[in-house]
Amino acid sequence: MTTTALEGLRVIDLTHYITGPFCTKLMADYGADVIKVERPDGGDPARRIGPFQGDDPHLEKSGLFLHLNT
């Protein structure tokens, strides 16, 4: 198995919207274990930005949020 550059590193992601989550997505792509912590009053504001799966504006269906945080 190939070792990745950030394997064994744990990152706490306290960022929101686009720039921060994109950076931590790259860290995860290089092997870091990223733990995203969101605000308790609605989570990352990017959850409210479309497009939404099935045109259903729901916090768990934002295409932008899902792309940046998976």
Query: 46 near 63, Cβ under 8 Å?
Result: no
Q: Which of 15, 12, 11, 17 is nearest to 65 (CA)?
A: 17
Quick one: pLDDT band at residue 35, thresholds 50, 70, 90? Answer: very high
Q: Is 29 helix (H, G, I), strand (E, B) or coil?
A: helix
Q: Mean pLDDT over all residues of the chain?
A: 90
What separation in angstroms does the CA of 12 have from each of 31, 36, 39, 46, 69? Answer: 14, 6, 13, 18, 13
Q: What is the mean pLDDT of residues 4-16?
A: 96
pTM of the model: 0.78
